[in-house]
């Protein structure tokens, strides 16, 4: 958000934003960044982040992700993402009517906070996991 012009720019749509300032002191506090989902991450016929369980958390060598059934979805895809946004692991499993469990191997990962991003049908959910 540009507080001077009131313009809000979605940097996913355009990667640059140009502005001019006649006085460097006017730049302080001019811009604010907002991070977050602009659309719901779960649909009524999908699954919510609260229905997905990750344990143990914190994890050491591996952790388990419990994924509930999602109406109309037969497959779940999962990406393990580090704090830099890099995908460090990709997982896929069948998604039966009873749901499924994904076992994620954390061996060799550096200690830190990761995000497990799940996709089933048109639904995407993200959960954080700490690797020790």
**What are the structure tokens assigned to 74, written together?**
């037969």
For range 58-71, the mean pLDDT: 90
pTM: 0.63
Q: Total structural domains in the chain?
A: 2
Dihedral, 41, 44, 49, 52 alpha carbons, nearest 10: -130
Element (H, E) at 116: strand 112-120
Residues 58 and 121 in one domain: yes
For range 100-127, the mean pLDDT: 92
Residues 19 and 54 in one domain: no
The answer for residues whose C-beta is within 8 angstroms of residue 124's C-beta and 6 or more apart is 41, 117, 118
Of 132, 126, 129, nearest to 35 (Cα)?
126
For range 33-60, the mean pLDDT: 70
Of 74, 81, 66, 75, nearest to 117 (Cα)?
81
- Where in the sequence is the domain holding 3, given as residue range(s)? 1-35
Q: 22-26, 55-59, 70-74, 78-82: which range is least confident on average?
A: 22-26
Residues 29 and 53 in one domain: no
Residues 103 and 77 in one domain: yes
Residues 25 and 56 in one domain: no
Q: How far is Cα of residue 108 from the mean position of the Cα atoms in its chain? A: 22
> Residue 41 domain-assigned?
no
Share the mean pLDDT of the chain. 82
What pLDDT, on a 0 to 100 scale, did the predictor assign at position 38? 53
């Amino acid at each position: 958000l540009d507080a001077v012009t009131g313009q809000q720019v979605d940097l996913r749509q355009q990667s640059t934003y140009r502005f001019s300032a006649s006085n460097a002191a006017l730049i302080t506090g001019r811009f604010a960044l907002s991070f977050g989902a602009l659309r719901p991450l779960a649909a009524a016929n999908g699954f919510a982040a609260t229905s997905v369980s990750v344990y143990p958390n914190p994890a050491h060598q591996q952790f388990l992700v419990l994924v509930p059934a999602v109406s109309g979805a037969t497959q779940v895809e999962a990406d393990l993402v580090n704090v830099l946004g890099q995908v460090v692991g990709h997982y896929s499993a069948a998604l039966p009517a009873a749901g499924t469990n994904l076992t994620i191997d954390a061996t060799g990962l550096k200690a830190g906070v990761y995000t497990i991003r799940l996709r089933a049908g048109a639904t995407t959910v993200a959960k954080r996991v700490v690797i020790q």
